Chains A and B, each alone.
Chain A
Amino acid sequence: MLRYTIRRVLLTIPTLLGVAVLVFFMLRIVPGDVIEVKLRADGGNVSQEVVDAERKRFGLDKPLVNQFADWMVGMAKLDFGTSMWTERPVIEEISLRLQLSLQVAIMATLIAVFIAIPLGTTAALFRDTWLDYAVRIITIGGLSIPSFWFGMLIMLSLLALFNWLPPITFTPIYVDPIANLTQLIWPALAVGYRYCAVVARMIRSSLLEVLNEDYIRTARAKGVFEKLVVSRHALRNALLPAITVIGLEFTFLIGGLVVTEQVFNLNGIGQLFVQSVSRNDFMLIQGMVMLIAAFYVFVNLAIDLLYAVFDPRIRYS
């Protein structure tokens, strides 16, 4: 197991290197750069000499290979560079937003998991009854309604019903938990609903499959209580594919809540991503892509390791 884990961790290096090469060179294919946007987007009357001097200051005049090498050397020293828009360290720009995005992702995951497991299990156990139909309607609704649209409905409903909206600026949970939760519970609900629908449907179909397995029949034949059959034998196995979905959805939430963040005016990674892309802020985009890629790689590794915990038949050796 340890050898497997070490090998998987080492394999992340070529994966992340591949991502780095791709993101670096693909970004440079798009015409234009952040200097033009910064100096001329609002009608700035700056000469070409000034634009060129700024490009030089940020090293954009160097050959691409040299720029890539500089970036790689910096990354090896955990220096992700400087945002070309704000001229502040990329790590500072990201860490400020990561806290919020991570919290929304965790809250949405908790909401999704705590609702999806009972929903999916109920639907499977009461297959083709009104309970199953009700769960299916709820989950199809979750899959069909985009999170941002649901978020807009939440906001407009709060306005229409209570003439109230959640706080507009972020307060860390350790500063004021009430203010923090009052702000973030709504986006977490908006994205948690869709997330919950995906997981619930996965659990339902997986549980239906498992409930037809021979070992379930054997357990029932041995006279094991039905509750134990479901919770210990069936659900534990049925959760395996759901864990993969939960992990991937969680990672998606870190950087993928672009529109939802805009609806709730959240200062998260998704919003930062869109802004940096529209400004061609290469260093910041690169930093964020690497961060999200690293999240994907490590969450996938964690999922694989969790498989062994849930299914003792799986051993990585």
Chain B
Amino acid sequence: MRLKLGLLITAALAWGLGSAQAQTPKKGGELVYAITAETPNYDCAGSETFATLHFASPFYSTLLQFDLSKFPAVKGDLAKSWTVAPDLMTYTFKLNEGVKFHDGTPFTSADIKATYDRMRNPPQGVISPRKATFADIDTIDTPDANTVIFKMKAVNASMLEHFASPWNCVYSAKDIAADPNAPRTKINGTGPFIFVEHVKGSHVSGKRNPDYFRKGLPYLDSFKGVFTLQAAAMLNALQGGQVMAEFRGVSPAERDRLKAALGDKLRVEESSWTLNLLVAFNTEKKPFDDVRVRKALLMAIDRWGGSQGLSKISTLRSVGGVIRPGSPSATAEADLVKLPGFSKDIKKSREEAKKLLKEAGQENLKFVLWNRNLAMPYTPGGVFLVDQWRQIGVEVEHKQSDTAPYLAALNAGNYDVAIDFSNLFMDDSTLALAKYLSRDRSPQNLSRSIDRELDKLYDDHIRERDPAKRKALVQAFEKRLFEQGYQEPLLWWHRIVLTHKTVMGWKMSPSHNLGQDLAEVWLNQ
């Protein structure tokens, strides 16, 4: 009996040791992965596209970063530790020591100051889409080389998360002083990998930074990000083993094809996605200036039924309000179904929609739905909407166009109804709600609506420190927005990431913009 027990314990220990060993990261190797878009320049802080982050993240560090094991918690990157004043008006960061830029320049607090100054007060010719995000910063003090203090003009309850934004790549103060636009064309970060080459239209490559400040990292010797702009080429490359991963996301059909082809060699990770498609009405154009028409069109959409069908053929899946469903600030389903356009009783909802159209004198409504000519998920989303509106007698022409004429039409207000999208990197209401502010405050608001009540609710919520009260303000904002029907999410996307099982250490998150620095990725081969 004792012998058996002893054998069992020994076996268990051996198994435990074995599996622990299997999970012990191995050093070396080159990760080759697909990037499905190519960045126009290298400036993360001046960019909005994932193409820049998937390209540049391995070369840069940020002050903080999201802890993907405990998302949405944040952890230090260049910051070793930090304190936040109880009134949320001062943020003090202690920085890691001995950090060097790839060109050998020592990293100090002056680099943080220069980076954030460039974003909040961009010099002439520098593009900063994050200027508004950091507008609440009053001063940035650097009492010593390893301390940086941000003092605020006003409370911004999401500020700490904004310091963890992947877009805030830290640049060298020396580089920025020499040329404020240097980060657009030159890569000099403190990240885990050193830039090797960017062959236009082909690939980007990097090699291990031997002086990386997070000791023992990165595990990989090098990486190569290959631009595969067509989904078919990317899938073939994954199947043929030319690339080992694609970190943005694929459609269910693409997942199924690869699963059938690669079987156990493929790892499939899925998550809800911080992206949605939304319907925007041109509120300056008749009859969409009439709230009854907008509401009627929104009420005709069977989101719950649509999510069942669309999730099988596209990346569209979850029904939700302005915040990603399932995240802490999101509106619960029980409350959501009470809002216009979210009822589960679609028959009743469509009857009401027809009544509203009749009241507005729009029983024979015809219009053009503008959409981008991107297959996934814009085309299925557009086709779905056309069908939904047909069911209340509305005739819709689905016009898909290249991005340039699409944006030109929408920004100039030359459209009736459009499919737009919201692209966030975290579940933060400050970010999510900004899109729906009045047009004179938010160029992202393509519905061109002006609604001061929404603006006030947003301002109140951003200064609110009590999470419960803040959430209530978000819901009040959402209710007002949907009652007015300027814009409304259609469905939220679902993220599916495919990697070969040899790729280890990469962490899935709800945003394709997070966790792309490859510092902890290793190859089990």
Please report A residues at the B interface, Cβ cutoff 8 Å. Answer: 30-34, 36-48, 50, 53-54, 57, 85-88, 93, 96-97, 152, 155-156, 158-159, 163-165, 167-170, 262-265, 267, 271-272, 275, 277-280
Contacts and interface: CB of A to CB of B under 8 A. Distances in A.
B240 A264 contact: no
Nearest to B411: A36
Given A45-B443, A57-B125, A262-B230, A278 B402 contact: yes
A265 B230 contact: yes
Given A36-B408, A278-B402, A45 B434 contact: yes
Interface stretch (B92-100, B211-219, B231-239, B340-348): B231-239
A272 B184 CA distance: 21
B237 A165 contact: yes
B311 interface: no
Contact of B200 (A42, A57, A93, A156): A93
22 contacts: A30-B405, A32-B408, A34-B404, A36-B408, A37-B407, A40-B411, A40-B443, A43-B435, A44-B444, A47-B443, A54-B127, A87-B41, A96-B199, A159-B240, A159-B261, A167-B242, A168-B242, A263-B233, A265-B228, A267-B202, A278-B402, A278-B404
Contacts of B228: 168, 265
Contacts of B233: 262-265
A85 B261 CA distance: 37
A89 B40 CA distance: 13
Contact of A42 (B48, B203, B240, B435): B48
Interface of B: 40-41, 48-50, 125, 127, 129, 132, 184-185, 199-203, 224, 226-230, 232-234, 236-237, 239-243, 261, 402-409, 411-412, 421-423, 434-435, 442-444
Contacts of B240: 158-159, 163-165
Q: 6 smallest A-B Cβ distances: which pairs? A: A32-B408, A165-B240, A32-B404, A267-B201, A44-B48, A265-B233
Contact of A41 (B184, B239, B407, B442): B407
Contacts of B407: 32, 36-37, 40-41
Contacts of A96: 199-201
Given A87-B41, A93-B200, 5 more contacts: A37-B403, A45-B444, A46-B443, A88-B200, A165-B241
Contacts of B239: 159, 165
Contacts of A48: 443
A50 B443 CA distance: 11
B436 to A, nearest CB: 12
A39 to B, nearest CB: 7
A7 to B, nearest CB: 39
Nearest to A156: B236
Contacts of A57: 125
Nearest to A83: B40
- Among A34, A97, A167, A168, max chain B CB count under 10 A is at A168
A88 B199 CA distance: 13
Contacts of A30: 404-405
Nearest to B424: A43
Nearest to B261: A159
A42 B423 contact: yes
B370 to A, nearest CB: 12
- Among B201, B234, B239, B243, max chain A CB count under 10 A is at B201
A163 B423 CA distance: 37
B127 A32 contact: no
A57 B127 CA distance: 12
Nearest to A167: B242
A43 B280 CA distance: 14
